[in-house]
Homo-oligomer: A and B are copies of this chain.
Amino acid sequence: MTDIFRALADESRRELLDRLFADNGQTLSALCTDLAMSRQAVSKHLAVLEAANLVAVRRRGREKLHYLNPVPLAQIVRRWIGKFGDVRLQTLLDVAEERKPKRRRKPPAQSGAGSPSNS
């Protein structure tokens, strides 16, 4: 848990995940392009992501290919976030709905159940 959240708690690392999502299996130097930090910094970030199991690597000769691993994300959803509150089913179905907009259900009414809302 902690590893995953810590890994995600950094904008640069989330961007790296985004990049891998857009184009999986990139090398370190490929991931460095257009980033405003040194290769070493990126390398460290990737190490953190790797330690959190959010990124898997494969070596090809002198290159290191990085692959996104979404499983831990799914895990924190189901094993941790999912447990909180009524929003749970609500929102999850909401997202599912959003995903396959086949049939319409009730408009997702965010009824403030327990706590004052804002955001």
Contact = CB atoms under 8 A, between A and B. Distances in A.
B81 A119 contact: no
Interface of A: 1-3, 5-6, 8-11, 14, 17, 21, 24, 53, 56, 58, 67-96, 98-100, 110, 113-119
A5 B48 CA distance: 15
Copy count, this protein chain: 2
A74 B88 CA distance: 7
Contacts of A83: 21
A98 B82 CA distance: 10
Nearest to A80: B14
Given A84-B21, A117-B1, A77 B91 contact: yes
B5 A115 contact: no
A83 B70 CA distance: 10
Given A68-B115, A77-B81, A92 B89 contact: no
